[in-house]
Structure formats: structure tokens, C-alpha cells
């Protein structure tokens, strides 16, 4: 399971973001990440007593992460952390369960957004706290909460002893084409449409070599696609809306690879920000990119925002889906909701 390492996922969430990446590789915007909206004082600040580390061995830097977390624990006079490794068959859920069973109150996930999400799925709703050490390509969650990407020791210090905050966890329930259902948690962004086509189309070998830029190539291939009809209903509404779209995104955070893609999205406001993208052509994608890059306040017809605690969506024809940059299959129907304040996360 790979998180966006091409984004932080979801930035590209629409080929808009894919186009954005191409532009971003030439000119990096300097923006500060949005702070969490609730003060840290509202969450009990406790020192960890037993730490576990979940490492994705496929990511570069896994061994260094183990050394850094062990050093932080030793400096704090704590016992050495328990270490678990993910496998191709299990992205970290089993490791997180073993850590909970062992009595660990702080569980650190070292990997990409997929590894972090897998651990969060198990820790959601518990009193154990998640720490993160970004080793992926996109590292979207880490970027949004300002966990350092280049300083491994500081990242480990934050992951073990940082400020504890409660954040929201999104859920996307899918009715898959084979008649089965699936419920996936997400921390960054989920989507249906072109954004999911992009992640499904990205070459994994190229991504391992050039990182986030691999999404640009896939994005350019996806830009010429056509819009598809969807019907959606926001939580609390009785009427369905009908739109022809390229993507519908469900954002828990707003900053994607330096672009403030969903300006009002916050990790702990108890709502998701749904973004409906409906460009007809490359010109429409350019319009979206310019609005995002320059943080224009004006509304544009090809990009609509909704804040909601839940949304139901039906597709007139099958559409691909993704969570935090991982493809999750084709659907005709899905439901998205948010579990407010259900995850304890250590941040700077």
C-alpha cells in the first residue's frame, strides 16, 4: 500500500494537482501550513510509557528511523521501543494491533501516508497516540502538521514526545462493482474520478525513481478525459444534486505539495471539505490551477466547495476511487463521513 507519496496524496487529487505538480516543480510556493483549530490544552498531555515503532521496510531510511526512535527513548530514560515491520500483504494494521496488545501507549509509524493510515485505522477511537516519521514520497499528513521531513532525529522526537492533538478521521464506504462493500479510513484526502484515475495510472517504478514528479506524467495523460454525471447529497439535505464532473474530492487537510488546495480544510473541525471539479478541457484545469496557486478568493464555476459531515454519491457509470493516493477500486455508489476528534496524534 502506497500513500501518495505522490502527494500527499491527493494533491493531485485531480489532474489539476497533477498539472500543479508540473508547475510546482518549477516554482515552489512558500506557504505556512494551517494550524489545527483546537488548542493543545484541550487534550491531556502525557509522557509515553511504552513505545512501539512500525516501519515500512520498503522505504529508504527505515533503519535510520529505528535508530532515531531508540535514541529518543534512551534519552528520555525509557525502555527501547518494540519494533514491527509491515509486509506487502499488510500495510501496518496487524503491527498496530500487536503494539496495542503489548500495552504500548505511543505507536510511531515510519513510512509513507499508506503506512500511517494503516496504523491510524487501528488506533482510531483508542487512547493510544500515533506518532509519524515521514519516509514516503508525498508525506501529505506530515507536511500539514509540520513534522520535519529532512531532520529524522527531530521527527522522531516529535513522534515520541510531541504535543498530543485530537484530529478527525474520514471514512469512505464503497459499493464495489463485484457487489461487495469496503470501508476505508483516510487522514488526508479521498476522491472519485480523475484523481483516482491518476493514481491508478502512475508507474510505480518511475515513482520510486523520481517521486512526486511521476504523477505529472500520469496527470497529463488524464487531462483530456471527459466529464461524468454524478448525483450527490450532503448530510442533512433531502435533495440530490446532479453534476457532470471530472473529480469529487473529500479533504481532511488542505495543503498538498505546497499548494493550499482546500484553504478551509482543517484536521480537527469535525467536517470534511468536498471539492467538485468539473472542467471541460485543459483550459478549465488551468483555471483551477491558477486559482489554487494564487489563492484567489473568487468563486469559479469549474470548482465548487462544500463543508459537510457526510456525503452520499452515485455515479451514472463506474468511476475509480482512491484514499490518500491509494487506488481502491471502481464504484457506482459511495458514502463519506467523518469521525470527529477520534485519533490522538503527536505534532510539533
Establish if 77 belongs to a structural domain.
yes
Looking at 168, 196, 220, the residue that finishes a domain is: 168
Vertex 265, ends 204 and 208: CA angle to 5°?
A: 10
Nearest to 278 by CA among 245, 305, 306: 245
Beta-bridge partner residues of 314: 231, 333
Q: Which residue from 325, 254, 258 is spatially nearest to 9, judged by alpha carbons?
A: 325
pTM score of the predicted model = 0.85
Structural domain for 121, as ranges: 51-168
31 part of a folded domain: no
Cα–Cα distance for residue pair 32/38, rounded to 1 Å: 18
Q: Do residue 163 and residue 227 come from a single domain?
A: no
Instruction: For residue 273, give the CATH number of its domain.
Output: 2.60.200.40
The domain total for the chain is 2
Phi, psi of 38 (to 5 degrees): -100, 140
Co-location of 176 and 266 in the same domain: yes
Question: Residue 233, exposed/middle/buried by CB under 10 A (0-12, 13-18, 19+)?
Answer: middle
Q: What is d(CA 165, CA 343) in angstroms, rounded to the nearest whole number? A: 8
Specify whether 188 is located in the same domain as 141: no
Q: How many CB atoms lie within 10 A of CB 21?
A: 24
Grid coordinates given for 291: 486559482
Same domain as 151, residue 108: yes
| Residue 114 and residue 187 in one domain | no
Q: Per-residue DSSP letters for 207-238?
A: HHHHGGGHHHHHHHHHTT---EEEEEEETT--
Q: How far apart are the first and last CA of the chain?
A: 26
pLDDT one digit per residue (tens) for the chain, 348 residues: 443 333 333 333 334 443 333 333 323 323 333 445 554 445 778 889 999 999 999 999 999 999 999 999 999 999 999 999 999 999 999 999 999 999 999 999 999 999 999 999 999 999 999 999 999 888 999 999 999 999 999 999 999 999 999 999 999 999 999 999 999 999 999 999 988 887 765 655 655 555 555 556 555 665 678 999 999 999 999 999 999 999 999 999 998 877 889 999 999 999 999 999 999 998 998 999 899 989 898 999 999 999 999 999 999 999 999 999 889 999 999 999 999 999 999 999
- For residue 116, which of 55, 46, 60, 57 has the smallest C-alpha distance? 55
CATH number of the CATH domain containing 84: 3.40.50.10330
Q: Is residue 23 part of a domain?
A: no
C-alpha cell at position 284: 478549465
Task: Examine the domain organization and report whether 174 and 163 are in the same domain.
Answer: no
Instruction: Confirm whether 46 is domain-assigned.
Output: no
Q: Same structural domain for residues 225 and 155?
A: no
Amino acid at each position: 500500500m502506497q500513500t501518495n507519496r505522490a502527494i500527499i496524496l491527493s494533491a493531485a487529487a485531480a489532474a489539476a494537482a497533477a498539472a500543479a505538480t508540473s508547475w510546482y516543480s518549477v516554482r515552489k510556493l512558500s506557504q505556512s501550513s494551517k494550524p489545527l483549530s483546537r488548542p493543545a490544552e484541550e487534550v491531556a498531555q502525557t509522557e509515553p510509557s511504552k513505545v512501539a515503532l512500525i516501519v515500512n521496510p520498503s522505504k529508504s531510511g527505515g533503519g535510520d528511523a529505528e535508530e532515531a526512535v531508540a535514541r529518543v527513548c534512551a534519552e528520555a530514560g525509557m525502555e527501547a521501543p518494540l519494533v514491527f515491520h509491515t509486509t506487502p500483504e499488510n500495510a501496518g494494521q496487524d503491527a498496530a494491533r500487536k503494539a496495542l496488545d503489548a500495552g504500548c501507549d505511543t505507536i510511531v509509524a515510519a513510512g509513507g501516508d499508506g503506512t500511517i493510515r494503516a496504523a491510524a485505522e487501528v488506533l482510531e477511537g483508542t487512547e493510544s497516540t500515533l506518532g509519524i516519521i515521514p519516509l514516503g514520497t508525498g508525506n501529505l499528513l506530515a507536511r500539514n502538521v509540520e513534522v520535519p521531513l529532512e531532520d529524522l532525529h527531530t521527527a522522531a522526537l516529535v513522534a515520541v514526545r510531541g504535543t498530543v492533538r485530537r484530529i478527525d478521521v474520514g471514512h469512505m464506504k464503497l459499493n464495489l462493482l463485484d457487489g461487495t462493500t469496503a470501508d476505508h479510513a483516510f487522514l488526508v484526502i479521498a476522491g472519485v474520478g480523475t484523481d483516482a484515475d491518476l493514481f491508478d495510472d502512475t508507474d510505480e517504478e518511475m515513482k520510486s525513481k523520481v517521486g512526486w514528479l511521476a504523477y505529472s506524467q500520469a496527470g497529463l495523460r488524464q487531462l483530456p478525459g471527459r466529464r461524468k454525471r454524478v448525483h450527490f447529497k450532503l448530510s442533512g439535505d433531502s435533495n440530490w444534486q446532479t453534476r457532470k464532473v471530472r473529480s469529487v474530492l473529500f479533504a481532511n487537510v488542505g495543503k498538498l505539495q505546497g499548494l493550499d488546495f482546500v484553504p478551509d480544510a482543517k484536521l480537527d473541525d469535525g467536517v470534511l471539505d468536498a471539492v467538485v471539479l468539473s472542467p471541460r478541457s485543459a483550459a478549465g484545469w488551468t483555471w483551477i490551477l491558477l486559482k489554487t496557486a494564487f489563492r484567489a478568493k473568487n468563486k469559479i464555476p469549474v470548482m465548487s466547495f462544500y463543508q459537510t459531515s457526510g456525503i452520499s454519491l452515485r455515479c451514472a457509470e463506474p468511476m475509480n476511487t482512491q484514499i490518500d493516493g491509494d487506488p481502491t477500486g471502481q464504484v457506482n455508489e459511495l458514502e463519506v463521513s467523518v469521525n470527529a476528534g477520534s485519533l490522538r496524534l503527536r505534532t510539533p
